[in-house]
Chain A
Amino acid sequence: MALLAYIGRRLLFVGPQLVGILLVSFFLVKLIPGDPAVLMLGPFATPDALARLRTELGLDGTLIEQFLIYLWNVLQGDLGTSWQTTLPVTIDLAQRFPATLELVTLGLLLALLIGIPLGVAGAFFKRGLLRKAADYYGLLAGALPDFWLALVLIFVFYTMLGIAPAPLGRIDFAILPPEPVTGALLIDSLIAGNWAAFWNAAGHLVLPVVTLGLINAGPILKMTQSTMERMLEADFSRYAEMCGLPRHVVLRKALRNSLPSIVTIVSVLYGFLIGGAVLVEIVFSWGGAGQYAVQGVLNADLNPVLGFVLYSAVLSLVIYLIVDLIYFAIDPRTR
């Protein structure tokens, strides 16, 4: 029950943390020059009309007033509307956030599948071809921009070979998307039993997921390799060797002791990629949350930006809570 108390204590701080995050991002966003009223009404608007619109948008009060009004609305579940899509931000994000989550989650899973085995192998065979390959791969993955890799993949697999679908969103226009339940197309089409939609969405996912997976396997590989090396040289590994335990048992012990570091880097990457995958989203016209927020910033459309910040903040807090619970599960010393 100490666990429940711990979770409760953590949740207590979520509210103040979110208000703080909103406060900072609100004022930062307000610092961006640009008047939404001018952008909305176009170059031929009369000063009268502009003033009226500003009053309507609540832009004529002081910044503090504006923030308090925004906060009050947020508390009632109203994140405002985007003037670009003319839809409430909650509805926009309900479509886009799952799209990003689906992409990022699968991308990270692939990164784990590449990074952990390569990292473990690199730590175990300190010399040799595999270690060299792992080292070069880590360097390359750190140096390549993800959008460039995305463009190369599109060029090879769509333009040249024609085996990948066009980089125009999450599913073909000709295919009816499944009824949204979770917002993730793969899961929703499985729920609806719509196999055509499932395979089509999966096909669209391949290239962006491979892009994110290949790039983000780099840091995971590096972290796994360095932690594993440290663990394999740790006293308990040496002792396990002296006890004559088989190699694979020693390796498994070291890997288990490395897990906390790996979990940490994955959680950091996850939080980062929610917004950081935006270039890949743009290249594949994914219509994800990052893309939405960037459009908002470019067009002085503040509500989507703040809404995105709020959603990612909540998600990050949830991830960090889960990470702490995983630490509990892995390491008896933290209990």
Chain B
Amino acid sequence: MGATAAVMRGTPAHELERAATPLLSIEDLWVAIPRYKLESQQVLRRIDLEMAPGEVLGLVGESGSGKTMLARSIMRLIPASGWIERGRIRFGGQDLAALNEEELRKLRGRDIAMIISNPRGELDPLQTVGQQIGNILRYHMRMDRTAIRARVLDLLRQVSIPDPERRLNAYPHELSGGMAQRVVMAIALACSPKFIISDDATSGLDVTVQAQVLELMRKLVVERGTSLLFITRDIGITAHFCDRVAVIYAGEIVELAARDEFFENPQHPYTLLLLAAFSHNERLRRYWLGEDETRKEMGPSPTGCPFANRCVRVQPRCRSEHPSLRELASRHFVRCHFPVER
């Protein structure tokens, strides 16, 4: 993993640190969703996150860990009638809680764009590709018809869609998965947003197509200096083009570090579990993943460290005391009482 990590570079991490104001800053965010006849459930806890302009942050977690919740909380479109219990999200220095619904709407799609997975299901089946990209331009940028057409063609070319003139009139069901993914990227890029969230965007694609789409996404983001929050279940992908990597487990960020540091010196047991899953080293795999399937069934532990039930290195303290996010090395944060030492 460490070897792959050294291959590609976006913006060097030390330059990012110098950036004065973060583009996005999340402070102590708690999000809850209601449960039928039960107490509401906190699906995000103690989220602290900052993103600099132009930074690419990979957010890794398994399904149900709160990745999508976090993405949608930033958008203020929390699924399952969830709500923000506490904490603050600032975007471009502005507190998002202070905005009314109409101001938020104008922000969505224009300043903060979302790239989603399963794009064929998310595009309107009754509108052509051209109309759907055009809609964004029409309602956010107030462009006129001819300008929209030119811009849509331009966008389709930028996301490397062959024969854009013809694709303009195609309906979503006529597109392949990779093409639909590119259309969604074109929609996200339409208003040149400052911040893009990619929510598990490439998970439904064939591996070869996935590689193409990822490469394209990286190119477009780096070229424009857009910030990207890249949410994925696949920790391997983050090694390719993220400046920093965060791991989220059961609604909490458990490890956060610059990419090279993250892959060379991973310290949280969950991170090691994820990495071991990709490893060729049989002994390593047996140690970290041995009985994970059975331990996973126990779910997050209610008190103490949420990972305690699944952790192979669990100690009595882990079950009683909740670990805080500690900065162990420079800008390397780990939420564990007993981080893994090299």
Binding site for B on A (CB under 8 A): 235-236, 238-247, 249, 253, 256-257, 330-333
Contact = CB atoms under 8 A, between A and B. Distances in A.
Contact of B108 (A236, A241, A257, A332): A241
A257 B125 contact: yes
15 contacts: A236-B121, A239-B116, A241-B108, A242-B77, A242-B116, A244-B107, A244-B108, A244-B109, A244-B136, A245-B139, A247-B105, A256-B126, A331-B126, A332-B126, A332-B171
Interface string B83-117: 00000000000000000000001111110011010
A331 B125 contact: yes
A247 B104 CA distance: 12
B122 A257 contact: no
A330 B75 CA distance: 32
Contacts of B109: 242-245
B114 A242 contact: yes
B295 interface: no
Interface in B138-190: 139-140, 171, 173, 187
B116 A241 contact: no
Nearest to B188: A243
A242 B76 CA distance: 9
B96 to A, nearest CB: 13
B126 A246 contact: no
A238 B121 contact: no
Nearest to A236: B124
Interface in B252-268: none
A246 B139 contact: yes
Contacts of A240: 124
Interface of B: 75, 77, 105-110, 113-114, 116, 118, 121-127, 135-136, 139-140, 171, 173, 187
A150 B6 CA distance: 82
Given A238-B77, A242-B75, A242-B114, A249 B139 contact: yes
A36 to B, nearest CB: 55
Contacts of B107: 244
B75 A253 contact: no
B122 A238 contact: yes
Contacts of B171: 332-333
B106 A249 contact: no
**Which of B75, B77, B113, B124 has the most C-beta atoms of chain A within 10 angstroms of its own C-beta?**
B124
A256 B135 CA distance: 15
Contacts of A257: 124-126
Contacts of B110: 244
Contact of B122 (A236, A245, A256): A236
Contact of A246 (B75, B105, B114): B105
Nearest to A240: B124
Contacts of B125: 236, 257, 331-333
Given A253-B124, A332-B126, A333-B173, A243 B136 contact: yes
A242 B108 contact: yes
Contacts of B187: 243
Contacts of B140: 244
Given A241-B108, A243-B109, A249-B139, A236 B77 contact: no
Contacts of B127: 253
B170 to A, nearest CB: 9
B4 to A, nearest CB: 32
Contacts of B116: 239, 242
B104 to A, nearest CB: 8
**Which of A243, A246, A253 has the most C-beta atoms of chain B within 10 angstroms of its own C-beta?**
A243
Contacts of A242: 75, 77, 108-109, 114, 116
A247 B108 CA distance: 13
A242 B113 CA distance: 8
Given A239-B116, A245-B109, A332-B126, 5 more contacts: A236-B124, A241-B77, A244-B107, A244-B108, A333-B125
